C-alpha cells in the first residue's frame, strides 16, 4: 500500500481537525497572526473546503506595533483568498498610551494582545477560534489539547482538560464556553518550513535575509521599523543582513543574523539551528510559567 509520508499525514490530520471544528461550530473564526504558522493554517483551511472558500472570516488582533511589511502582506493575502478580514485593536489601550517599552511594557501584552483578543471574540460572538500554535513551541503548549475549552472569561484550566483519544474530538460546549482549536498541534518548526517549501506557500518577506536597519539592545537585534521606537543614548541604527524566525510586534521581536534568502536556505539553516525559535520572543522569558499564566488568562 502507498503509505502517506510524514508531511502528508500531518496535512490530512490538520484538514480533518479543521472540518470537524467547523462542522460543529456556530460562528468559527481563523486567528490570523500573519506569521508562518498562520500562513500554513490558512493554506490548510483553503484545502479543507476546496472548491468552496473557507466558511469563516480571518481575525487579526492588531497591536499597532506590527512590522509594516506584515500589515501589507496581511491585506494582500485577504484579497487573494477572498476571505473576510476582521482587524481589531484595543482602542481603550491605545488611548491609554500602552506601548511595548518604557513604563507600560509590563502590561502591554496583557492589554494589547490578550485583552484585545477577548474583546474581539466577545464582540463578534465567535465560539470556535482556530490558532496556529504547535506543541513543540513551548512546554505548557505541549500539554494543550487540540480542542481546548475556554471558560466564559476565556480562561484555560490546564488541570481539567478533556481526554482526547484517537482523533475523536469532543466539540460540545456549555453556554458561554468557547473552543480554541489548534490544527497544527503535532507539527514541528521544521515540518512547517518543509511544508511551506513543498507547497510554495507565500510568507512575509521578513523571514528572508536582507539588509535591514537594526539596533542591538541587551543582546537582541531590534529592527527600527519606523520612528516610534525611542533609541537609547548611544544607539544608532546600523544596516545588517538579518532575518526573523518568528514575527510579532517589532519592538519585541529579535532578528537573527543570517544569509538565508530563500526557502531552501531557511530549511538548511533550520537543521543546524542551536537555539529555539521562541528565543527571539522577549515575552517568553519573564518566568518558567509565563506562557502558562498568559494562556490561563486567555492568551493564545
- According to CB under 8 A, which residues from 224 to 283 bind other proteins? 264, 267-268, 270-276, 279
Q: Considering the complex, state which of residue 3 and residue 232 has its C-beta at the smaller distance from other proteins.
A: 3
Could you give the CA distance from residue 253 to residue 82 in angstroms, rounded to a whole number?
30
What is the footprint of other proteins within residues 48-77 (CB under 8 A)? 48-52
Binding residues for other proteins, rule CB under 8 A, total: 74
Q: Considering the complex, state which of residue 106 and residue 175 has its C-beta at the smaller distance from other proteins.
A: 175
Q: Which of 292, 294, 299, 300 binds other proteins (CB under 8 A)?
A: 292
Which stretch in 80-88, 105-113, 190-198, 242-250 sits in contact with other proteins by CB under 8 A? 190-198
Q: DSSP letters of 158-219?
A: GGGPPP--TT-------TT-EEEE-TTTT--HHHHHHHHHHHT----GGGS-EEEEEEEETT
The β-bridge partners of 61 are 88
Could you give the CA distance from residue 10 to residue 17 in angstroms, rounded to a whole number?
11
Contacts of 92 (CB under 8 A, 6+ apart): none
Please name which of 253, 269, 272 lies closest in space to residue 212, comparing C-alpha atoms.
253
Under rule CB under 8 A, residue 165 binds other proteins: yes
Q: Considering the complex, state which of residue 59 and residue 146 has its C-beta at the smaller distance from other proteins.
A: 146
Task: Note the helical H segments in the chain.
Answer: 6-24, 36-49, 68-81, 91-95, 105-108, 116-124, 189-199, 263-271, 290-296
DSSP helix/strand/coil, 85: strand
Under rule CB under 8 A, residue 110 binds other proteins: no
Which stretch in 91-99, 219-227, 229-237, 286-294 sits in contact with other proteins by CB under 8 A? 286-294
Q: Considering the complex, state which of residue 106 and residue 163 has its C-beta at the smaller distance from other proteins.
A: 163
Under rule CB under 8 A, residue 26 binds other proteins: no
Q: Which of 30, 59, 194, 222 binds other proteins (CB under 8 A)?
A: 194
Q: Which of 27, 47, 88, 94 binds other proteins (CB under 8 A)?
A: 47
> What is the enclosing helix (H) or strand (E) of 256?
strand 254-257
Q: Which of 76, 96, 123, 139 binds other proteins (CB under 8 A)?
A: 139
Q: Is the dihedral of CA 195, 45, 243, 114 positive or negative?
A: negative
Which stretch in 87-95, 121-129, 136-144, 205-213 sits in contact with other proteins by CB under 8 A? 136-144
DSSP helix/strand/coil, 251: helix
The β-bridge partners of 66 are 249
DSSP helix/strand/coil, 30: strand
Contacts of 147 (CB under 8 A, 6+ apart): 21, 162, 164, 169, 170, 171, 179, 180, 181
Under rule CB under 8 A, residue 80 binds other proteins: no
Which stretch in 98-106, 186-194, 215-223, 242-250 sits in contact with other proteins by CB under 8 A? 186-194
Under rule CB under 8 A, residue 151 binds other proteins: no
Q: Considering the complex, state which of residue 71 and residue 270 has its C-beta at the smaller distance from other proteins.
A: 270
Under rule CB under 8 A, residue 138 binds other proteins: yes
Amino acid at each position: 500500500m502507498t503509505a502517506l509520508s510524514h508531511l502528508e499525514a500531518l496535512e490530512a490530520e490538520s484538514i480533518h481537525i479543521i472540518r470537524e471544528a467547523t462542522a460543529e461550530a456556530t460562528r468559527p473564526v481563523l486567528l490570523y497572526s500573519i506569521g508562518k504558522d498562520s500562513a500554513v493554517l490558512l493554506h490548510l483551511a483553503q484545502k479543507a473546503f476546496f472548491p468552496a472558500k473557507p466558511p469563516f472570516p480571518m481575525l487579526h488582533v492588531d497591536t499597532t506595533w506590527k512590522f509594516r511589511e506584515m500589515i501589507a502582506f496581511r491585506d494582500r493575502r485577504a484579497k487573494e483568498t477572498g476571505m473576510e478580514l476582521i482587524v481589531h485593536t484595543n482602542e481603550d489601550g491605545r488611548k491609554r498610551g500602552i506601548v511595548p517599552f518604557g513604563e507600560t511594557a509590563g502590561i502591554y501584552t496583557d492589554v494589547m494582545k490578550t485583552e484585545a483578543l477577548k474583546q474581539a471574540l466577545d464582540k463578534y460572538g465567535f465560539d470556535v477560534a482556530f490558532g496556529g500554535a504547535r506543541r513543540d513551541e513551548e512546554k505548557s503548549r505541549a500539554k494543550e489539547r487540540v480542542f481546548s475549552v475556554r471558560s466564559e472569561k476565556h480562561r484555560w484550566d490546564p488541570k481539567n482538560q478533556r481526554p482526547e483519544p484517537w482523533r475523536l474530538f469532543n466539540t460540545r460546549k456549555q453556554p458561554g464556553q468557547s473552543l480554541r482549536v489548534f490544527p497544527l498541534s503535532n507539527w514541528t518548526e521544521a515540518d512547517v518550513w518543509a511544508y511551506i517549501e513543498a507547497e510554495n506557500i507565500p510568507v512575509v518577506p521578513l523571514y528572508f535575509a536582507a539588509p535591514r536597519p537594526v539596533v542591538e539592545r541587551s543582546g537582541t537585534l531590534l529592527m527600527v521599523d519606523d520612528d516610534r521606537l525611542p533609541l537609547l543614548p548611544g544607539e544608532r541604527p546600523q544596516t545588517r543582513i538579518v532575518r526573523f524566525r518568528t514575527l510579532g510586534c517589532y519592538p519585541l521581536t529579535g532578528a537573527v543574523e543570517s544569509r538565508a534568502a530563500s526557502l531552501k536556505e531557511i530549511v538548511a539553516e533550520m537543521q543546524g539551528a542551536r537555539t529555539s525559535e521562541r528565543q527571539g520572543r522577549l515575552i517568553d522569558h519573564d518566568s518558567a510559567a509565563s506562557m502558562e499564566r498568559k494562556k490561563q488568562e486567555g492568551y493564545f
